[in-house]
Structure 1
Amino acid sequence: MENRRSIRKYKPDEIERKLIEEIIYSASLAPSAKNRQPWKFIIYQGKEKDKLVDVMRHGINSEKTTHELMPEWAFAIPDAENTVRIMQE
């Protein structure tokens, strides 16, 4: 824990599929409450990731102007925008 760090900038390098699979496998071994293991992993890369970012950006912009879907979550919009920004890098 002492050497833990939070990464906020990512390299644009493509990650090998085998490494992604190893990471997901390791994550699936993490403990969960009552051993429910509710893990779901979805990997987006390339054009599909770009489409997802566009959909997310559209939803955020819509929510910023209307607050129709989740008015009680308006405070979370900056965090959502930050997630989209990170995904674009």
Structure 2
Amino acid sequence: MISAIYERRSTRKFLASDISKSDMTDIIQSGMKAPSSKNRQPWKYIVVQGDAKEEMLRVFRQGIEREENECAFLPQSKRYIAAAKHTVDVNIKEEYVYE
């Protein structure tokens, strides 16, 4: 177990190719085996690909811009907007993808 802790890594670059539905199912089912507080297992997964992903990112970006520039719907979340903006921008630019 100690070796798993020391040898873990954070993946920051991904292939641009799609993941098969079978692999995606395996990944999600494996994630559902992760420990949760009091074994509540509150897992919910939403897989978004293609045009739907682009639309989702567009809507997220609009929400971020509203929170930054207009009457904020969630003013208490102001301190988290920069991180959310970075996540959306990275996905739009796909700067962490390599061939």
State the TM-score, normalized to the length of structure 2: 0.82
Distance 1:51 1:21 in 2: 23
| Amino acid corresponding to residue 47 of structure 1 in structure 2 | D
Shift of 1:84: 0.5
Q: CA RMSD in A?
A: 1.3
Q: Which runs of 4+ in 1 moved over 3 A?
A: none
Structure 2: which 5+ residue stretches go unaligned? 95-99
Q: Give the structure-1-normalised TM-score.
A: 0.90
For structure 1, the residue ranges without an aligned partner over 5 or more in a row are none
Match of 2:90 in 1: 86
The 5-angstrom pairing of residues 10-89 of structure 1 reads 10-88=14-92, 89=94
Give 1 or 2 for the bigger CA radius of gyration. Answer: 2
Cα distance in 1 for residues equivalent to 2:66 and 2:35: 37
1:67–1:74 Cα contact (<8 Å) kept: no
Look up the equivalent residue of 1:63 and give its one-letter code: E
What is the identity percentage for the equivalent residue pairs of Structure 1 and Structure 2? 38
Higher strand share: 2
Q: Distance in 2 between matches of 1:40 and 1:25?
A: 11
Query: Residue 85 and residue 7 in structure 1: after superposition, are their counterparts in 2 closer, same or farther (change >3 A)?
Result: farther
